[in-house]
Structure 1
Amino acid sequence: MAQRKTNGRKLFMMVLYMVAACSAVPISDLLDRASQRSDTLHSLSTMLTQDLDSHFPPMGRVMMPRPSMCHTSSLHTPNDKEQALQVSEADLLSLARSLLQAWRDPLVILSTSANTLPHPAQNSISSKVRELLEHTKSLGDGLEILSGKLGPAAQSISSLPYRGGNDISQDRISRLTNFHFLLSCFRRDSHKIDSFLKVLRCRAAKLQPEMC
C-alpha cells in the first residue's frame, strides 16, 4: 500500500512538472510544434489517399459521396488564407480543436477497418492510420495547452458528432469506397487545421499578412 502511495505521488508530481514546463513555453514555440504535427497529419492523410488510389475500383468512384456529406461540413470555416486572416486567434484555435475533436471516433473506426481492408497495400495503410491516431492525440494535447493561453473563446469546441456507425460495410467495393470517403474527409479537415495553425504561427511571429 505504501509503495502504491509513493508511485501515485511520483506520478502526480510528474504531471505537475509537465504542466508547469508547458506553461513556461512561449506561445510561438508551442505553435511551431503544433504546426509541425499538423503538417505531418496532412502529409500522412495525403499518402494514405494515394495508397488507396493505387488499386481503387472505378465503381467506387461512382459511389463516392459528395464532400458536403462529411460529418464536419456543418462547421463554418474560412475558405482560404485571406478569410482565415480575418478570424481572431482564439476563434481559429477553436475551429482547429473542433475539427480535431470530431475525428476522435472516426479515426478509431478507420484504424479498426484498415486491419481487414481488401487492398494490396493493407499493411501499409493500417500502419499509417495508426500513426494518424498517435499524431492526432499528440496534437490535441498540444492544442489544449494552447487554448489555455488564448482564453475562453479558444477553449470552446463545437460538437460535430459522427453518425456513420462502427462498421464501414462488409461488401468489398462499399468497404473500400466508405473507407476512402472517410479518409478524404479527414484529409480535407487536416488541411484546414494545418492552415489555421500556420496562420496562428505567422501572427505569433508578428509577420505581415502577405508573408503568411
Structure 2
Amino acid sequence: MNNNKALHGCVLLLLWPFQGTTGSMAECQDPGSTHCTISLEKLLDRAIQHAELIYLVSENSLTLFEEMFIPFQVRIPLTQTGNTCTTSTLSISTSRSEVQENSDKWLLHSILFLIKFWIDPLVKLQTSLDRYDNAPMALINKTKWISDKLMNLAQGVTILIQKMLGEGAVMLEQNNKSLADYPVHFDMLESVLRDYSLLACFKKDTHKMETFLKLLKCRQKGGLGCSLL
C-alpha cells in the first residue's frame, strides 16, 4: 500500500519530455525569446528523474504481476537469476570498480544502448499482456507508460551525448539477439513465466541506467569520491 501511494505521488509529477528547452528550467536571453537553453546540470537532473520514475513504475509493475500470476515459491528463483537476462551477455560491465573507471562516453552510450535494447521487448510485452484473460488494466497501462517514458529518456540521453561529448546523431550497433526476436508463446504458462522474467530483467537494467546517470552527475559536480549506489 505504501509503495502504491509513493508511486501515485510520483506520477502526479509527470516529467515533461526532453524535446525543446522551454519552461521554468530553461534560460532565455529575452522574455518571450525562442532562443532558450538549459544547463547540463538541469538536463542530468531531468534524466535522473526520468530514470528513477521508470524504475519505480517497473518495480511496481513487477510486484503487481507477481501478485496476479506468480505463486510465491516461484518468485525468488526467477528474480535472483540475473544471468538469465539477455543484456547480461552484452559488453556492459556490472562490476562496481570497472564501471567507476569507465569514461563518461562509455556510461552515456551504455545507457542509450540499454534504452534502445528494451524498446521492442516492451512492445512485445504489451502485446502479450493483451492476450491474458485477466490482466489488470493498471498493469497494461503501466507498461505502455514505461514505453513512452523510455522514449523520452532516449531523447534526453541523446541530448546529453551531444552536449557532453560533442557528438551529433547517435547510431548504436544493436545486438542481433534481442528479446524482441524471441518467438511469441501461445502457451499461457510459458508466456506468463517469460513475461515475468522480462519484467524482472527490465527492472535490473533500469536500475543500471539510474546508477550510471547519478555517477555522471557526481563527476560533473567535480566529486572526487563518486561511487555507485
Question: TM-score band, normalised by the shorter chain?
Answer: 0.7 to 0.9
Alignment counterpart, residue 49 of structure 1, candidates 62, 73, 90: 62
Query: What's 1:73 paired with?
Result: 88
Is 2:174 aligned against 1:172? Answer: no
The 1-side partners of 2:162 and 2:65 are apart by 38
Pairwise mapping of residues 188-203 of structure 1 onto structure 2 (< 5 A)? 188-203=204-219
Query: What's 2:11 paired with?
Result: none
The 2-side partners of 1:78 and 1:23 are apart by 37
Report the TM-score when normalising by structure 2.
Answer: 0.73
Is 2:95 aligned against 1:93? Answer: no
Alignment counterpart, residue 141 of structure 1, candidates 135, 155, 179: 155
Q: For 1:43, give the aligned amino acid.
A: L
Aligned-CA RMSD value: 3.2
Q: For 1:39, give the aligned amino acid.
A: E
Consecutive unaligned residues of structure 1, counting only runs of 5 or more, are 1-16
Query: 1:106-129 CA distances to partner (integer Å, 9 max, x unpaired)?
Result: 11111222223355x521110110
Query: 1:59-103 CA distances to partner (integer Å, 9 max, x unpaired)?
Result: 966995953332322222232544322111111000000111111
Provide closer, same or farther for how the CA distance between residues 112 and 23 of structure 1 changes in structure 2, counting only shifts above 3 A.
farther
Is contact 2:62–2:200 with CA below 8 Å preserved after alignment?
A: yes
Structure with higher helix content: 1
Is contact 2:121–2:179 with CA below 8 Å preserved after alignment?
A: no
Provide closer, same or farther for how the CA distance between residues 19 and 157 of structure 1 changes in structure 2, counting only shifts above 3 A.
farther
SS in 1 for 2:125: helix
Consecutive unaligned residues of structure 2, counting only runs of 5 or more, are 1-18, 27-34
Provide closer, same or farther for how the CA distance between residues 75 and 113 of structure 1 changes in structure 2, counting only shifts above 3 A.
same
Report the TM-score when normalising by structure 1.
Answer: 0.78
Q: For 2:117, give the aligned amino acid.
A: A
Alignment counterpart, residue 146 of structure 2, candidates 132, 155, 166: 132
Q: For 2:198, give the aligned amino acid.
A: L
The alpha-carbon deviation at position 35 of structure 1 amounts to 0.5
SS in 1 for 2:86: coil
Provide closer, same or farther for how the CA distance between residues 195 and 163 of structure 1 changes in structure 2, counting only shifts above 3 A.
closer
The 2-side partners of 1:69 and 1:154 are apart by 32
Moved more, 38-47 or 121-130: 121-130
Query: What's 2:15 paired with?
Result: none
The 1-side partners of 2:157 and 2:21 are apart by 13
Moved more, 185-194 or 147-156: 147-156
The 2-side partners of 1:180 and 1:118 are apart by 16
Greater relative contact order, per chain length (Cα 8 Å cut-off, separation 6+): 1
Q: Percent identity?
A: 26
The 2-side partners of 1:117 and 1:178 are apart by 13
